[in-house]
Amino acid sequence: MKVPRYLVPIDYKSVAHYFTDVLILGSGLAGVRAALAVDKSLSVAIVTKGAELEICSSTRAQGGIASVLDPLDNFENHIADTLTAGAGLCDERVVRFVIEHGPARIHELIDWGTHFDLDDNFHLDLTREGGHGFNRIAHALGDSTGKEIMRALFVQIKNRPNIRICTNTFAIDLITADNVCYGAILYSPQTGMKIVWAKQVILATGGSGQLYRETTNPEVTTADGMAMAYRAGARLRGLEFVQFHPTVLYLAGGARSLISEAVRGEGAYLIDKNGYRFMPDYDSRAELAPRDIVSRSIVAQMAKTNSSCVYLTLKHLDTAFVHRRFPGIESICHQFDLDLAKDNIPIRPGAHYMMGGIEVDLDAKTNIEGLRAVGEVTSTGLHGANRLASNSLLEAVVFGKIAGEGASIDAKNSPKDYVVFSLEDQCVPNSGMPLDTDDIRNTLKSVMQRCVGVMRDKDGLQEANDTFMSWQKFINDYQFKFPRGWELQNMLTICRLIAHCALIREETRGGHSRSDFPESRDEWKKYTVVERVASGDENDISEPLDN
């Protein structure tokens, strides 16, 4: 596979140049939290491709943020639950670090104006989700936790004169030389191409749910950050570990809305089309088993009953409580003439969270100097092969702070003048015949859903891998002039890498399920790693790493 170093040729003399101490790509929780950790004496630019800051996964988060906030709970319990979900691939040092820093980060969110829901005694109203052995999920506005946290943090960043926000601005590529990152190539429809030179760059572009036909993620999650980091020489690992959320609303023509895990946490049952509660047949934790187990069980039960979905039922719970506790989900159901408390709610699994990503250390540093990464775009070692519910918002705030503080120190210690140079190794312009990007995009998502979905096998993965490799021959160096085209190139790059990693991992572990290798195997207790070789050859896949 030949992946070009840069997606667009840049005439360095004809584009606008900007300068900032810290450049942050992405305005979700990870990017915003990082920005707030940068010293106020430094200039920060937050770049985001959506028309509004709010367009990101963070604002969609429903269930909440996990942390040890009850005196009867303890760090060891939360660590144990996280390690169990991670299926042998978590880095215990990272798990301990994140969990022990959790309470302080959540109290900081409260100090910054986040209103978490309180119980009758005005204590945090903590709930439980699948895989957690204790009530430790703080939530807000019932089931709109992300919206409330981001509301509070957007107020904070708008009050910081050193932070500049650029919406509608697409990051195309990172600028590097000799494995050091110096900034990024950006595009906005109003001003065209520009280069932002920065002393430090933080990548916080989120996940990759849009690689699949069925997903809970917003339109912006096209894996741009992972792809641009890959082109720049960053190490990516564990890309085969995709978490499918078991309960995504399944109504023809309707948006694929997530029905939060908290609904099962509060006691909802899963039933099949015959009204049979099937989860106890698959796992003793029933509806509260980890997500991969629930997703696989649903797919198996759908096959067994020959149906395209199963149902959530809350009929046995108090109606007033259900409506009060889940107002957001209730209003979505209401649009389809369903009552969450009284009707069976049709659901099936959809791509929800990417455990794999850019490898970073405990300082949020990548293997490229001057480049940190934070949030869903990373693989920190917290989630291993599978994420425990509500641990990702936690990871974003803990690592966001680390990334912002570290970038701040390094920017202060770097020379006063910026390093500016003309770009080398640029792609050869190739416009060729017109390409229908939407058609390719939809087909790609269908191939991912069918061949690289909840249940995988060698034949399907090989088909996906071969298909993506053949498409890359004419799409990779095609010269697009608009974000949909660059997104397609990014999606294709990461789809091919996911299919490849899933193909070589001949076992079932965490979010990666192989029907032809249904057991976990000790020799696979390690990460797959991919890294672009400088020549852009096909030979870009490294050996698995020992964990």
Ligand X SMILES: Cc1cc2nc3c(=O)[nH]c(=O)nc-3n(C[C@H](O)[C@H](O)[C@H](O)COP(=O)(O)OP(=O)(O)OC[C@H]3O[C@@H](n4cnc5c(N)ncnc54)[C@H](O)[C@@H]3O)c2cc1C
| Residues tagged active-site | 291
CA distance 116 to 130: 20
Judge contact between 195 and 176, C-beta under 8 A: no
Query: Which residue from 364, 368, 390, 391 is spatially nearest to 377, judged by alpha carbons?
Result: 364
Judged by CB under 6 A, which of 10, 42, 63, 99 binds ligand X? Answer: 63
With CB under 6 A as the contact rule, which of the stretches 24-32, 191-199, 235-243, 361-369 interacts with ligand X?
24-32
Looking at 1, 35, 49, 397, which residue binds ligand X (CB under 6 A)?
A: 49
Q: Is 42 in the site for ligand X (CB under 6 A)?
A: no
* Part in contact with ligand X (CB under 6 A); list of ranges 59-67, 74-82, 341-349, 469-477: 59-67
Report how far apart, in Å, the C-alpha atoms of 143 and of each of 100, 253, 324, 343 are: 25, 23, 10, 19
Enter the tokens of residue 437.
């990007």
**Phi and psi (nearest 5°) for 390?**
70, 10
Cβ-contact 85, 388 below 8 angstroms = yes
Is residue 453 involved in binding ligand X (CB under 6 A)? Answer: no
437 binds ligand X (CB under 6 A): no
* Choice between 174 and 286, CB closer to ligand X: 174
Name the minimum Å distance from CB 305 to ligand X. 27
Compare residues 224 and 287 and give the one whose CB is closer to ligand X.
224
Considering the complex, state which of residue 390 and residue 476 has its C-beta at the smaller distance from ligand X: 390
E-strand stretches of 90-169: 137-138, 163-166
Closest CA to 196 of 172, 231, 221, 222: 172
Stretch that binds ligand X, among 201-209, 316-324, 338-346, 436-444 (CB under 6 A): 201-209
| Tokens matching residue 539 | 């030979």
Geometric angle at alpha carbon 406, from 62 and 402, rounded to 5°: 30
Q: Which of 4, 146, 183, 328 binds ligand X (CB under 6 A)?
A: 146
> Based on CB atoms, which residue is closest to ligand X, 216 or 366?
216
Binding residue count for ligand X, defined by CB under 6 A = 45
Window contacting ligand X (CB under 6 A); options: 42-50, 106-114, 153-161, 535-543: 42-50
Q: How far apart are CA 457 and CA 473, in angstroms?
A: 25
Candidates 65, 90, 94, 67; CA nearest to 78 is 67
Looking at beta carbons only, is 227 or 427 nearer to ligand X? 227
Question: Smallest Cα–Cα separation from 394: which of 65, 60, 29, 26?
Answer: 65
Q: Which stretch binds ligand X (CB under 6 A): 56-64, 189-197, 290-298, 401-409?
A: 56-64
Question: Of residues 321-380, which lie at the interface with ligand X (CB under 6 A)?
Answer: 353, 375-377
The residue within the footprint of ligand X, chosen from 7, 22, 24, 26 (CB under 6 A), is: 26
Angle at 430 between CA 429 and CA 436, to 5 degrees: 130
Positions touching ligand X (CB under 6 A) are 25-31, 47-50, 55-58, 60-65, 145-146, 170-171, 204-207, 216-217, 220-221, 224-225, 258, 353, 375-377, 390-393, 396
